[in-house]
């Protein structure tokens, strides 16, 4: 067998191998014919005409991309570092290959800029307390912008919000002051409710004089139960009023 035959055989086997492609269930092949888009093929066995056709593999599984830590300034002028994780997948292989050079790189860069832009419009308290809403806002904006690339952004999750040490101390002081404020409000509200109950009790006792006597006897019972060596018997108010009237009553003239 001469060299020419060997070369021809090698070329033939190479072309034959490149003719048959096997695509997995989660893969699609974007086929171009003489440089122009032809069709999307797969999964399974795909036949490609050598030289005339070329194929680009595209995966349809969800891609998990870590968004590097981004420096941003919140609306209340606090410098923070935020990182997140992005979940997306290709839903239109044709647009993912034709409309953008590298859909992975493009989606990652867009996610970074969108994260800075959206979070920079909110205050620090919102970044810490309303992550679910911010995640939804970033996901919605990314999904709208990547739709032209055939990309579906399914979720964005903010992982960490790193703030300066001095700001952490300031937040702790603010939280402590807020707890003290709430405690004072609760205490004042309790005092107000207690005063209302005392007023209602006084009005009830004033309407029923006999209830004052019952309260008097109950108080004596409580004092006796304390095992005190000295017991002070308070005079009922009505007795004091009777003595006061007798003292102030004018003396009757003698017959």
Please report, for the chain, the start and end positions of each structural domain, with discontinuous segments joined by +.
Answer: 8-59, 63-168
The C-alpha atoms of residue 163 and residue 208 are separated, in whole angstroms, by 65
The model's pLDDT over 94-139, given as tens digits with 9 standing for 90+, comes to 999 999 999 999 999 999 999 999 999 998 888 888 999 999 999 9
The model's pLDDT over 226-250, given as tens digits with 9 standing for 90+, comes to 665 565 655 555 556 666 666 676 6
* Confidence (pLDDT) at 255: 46
C-alpha distances in Å from residue 198, one per residue of 184, 201, 203, 223, 250: 21, 5, 9, 21, 37
Average pLDDT value for residue range 64-79: 90
The model's pLDDT over 166-197, given as tens digits with 9 standing for 90+, comes to 666 666 677 778 788 888 899 888 888 888 88
CATH, domain range 63-168: 3.30.479.30
**pLDDT > 90: what percent of the chain?**
43
The single-letter DSSP state of residue 91 is S
* Confidence (pLDDT) at 11: 73
- 19-23, 27-31, 148-152: range with lowest mean pLDDT: 19-23
Above 60 in pLDDT, residue 252? no
As a residue count, the chain comes to: 255
* CA dihedral angle for residue 136, residue 141, residue 147, residue 153, rounded to 10 degrees: -30
As separate numbers, helices (DSSP H) first and strands (DSSP E) second, the chain gives 8, 8
**pLDDT > 70: what percent of the chain?**
76
Average pLDDT value for residue range 26-44: 94
Who contacts 61 (Cβ-Cβ below 8 Å, separation ≥6)? Answer: 26, 89
* Confidence (pLDDT) at 7: 73
Above 70 in pLDDT, residue 140? yes
The model's pLDDT over 196-216, given as tens digits with 9 standing for 90+, comes to 887 777 777 677 666 666 666
Residue with tokens 């912008």: 145
Above 80 in pLDDT, residue 54? yes
């Amino acid at each position: 067998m001469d060299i020419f035959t060997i070369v021809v055989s090698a070329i033939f086997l190479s072309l034959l191998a490149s003719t048959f492609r096997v695509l997995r269930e989660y893969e699609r092949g974007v086929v171009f014919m003489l440089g122009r888009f032809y069709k999307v093929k797969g999964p399974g066995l795909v036949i490609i005409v050598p030289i005339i056709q070329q194929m680009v593999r595209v995966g349809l599984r969800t891609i998990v991309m870590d968004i590097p830590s981004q420096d941003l300034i919140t609306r209340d002028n606090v410098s923070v570092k935020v990182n997140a994780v992005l979940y997306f997948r290709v839903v239109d292989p044709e647009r993912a290959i034709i409309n953008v050079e590298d859909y992975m790189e493009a989606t990652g860069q867009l996610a970074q800029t969108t994260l800075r832009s959206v979070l920079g419009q909110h205050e620090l308290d919102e970044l810490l307390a309303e992550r679910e809403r911010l995640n939804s806002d970033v996901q919605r904006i990314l999904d709208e912008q990547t739709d032209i690339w055939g990309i579906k952004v399914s979720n964005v999750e903010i992982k960490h919000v790193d703030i300066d040490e001095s700001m952490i101390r300031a937040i702790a002081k603010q939280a402590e002051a807020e707890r003290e404020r709430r405690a004072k409000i609760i205490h004042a509200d309790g005092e107000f409710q207690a005063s209302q109950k005392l007023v209602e009790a006084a009005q009830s006792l004033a309407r029923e004089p006999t209830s004052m006597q019952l309260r008097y006897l109950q108080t004596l019972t409580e004092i006796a139960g304390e095992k005190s060596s000295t017991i002070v018997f308070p005079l009922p108010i009505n007795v004091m009023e009777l003595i006061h009237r007798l003292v102030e009553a004018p003396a009757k003239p003698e017959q």
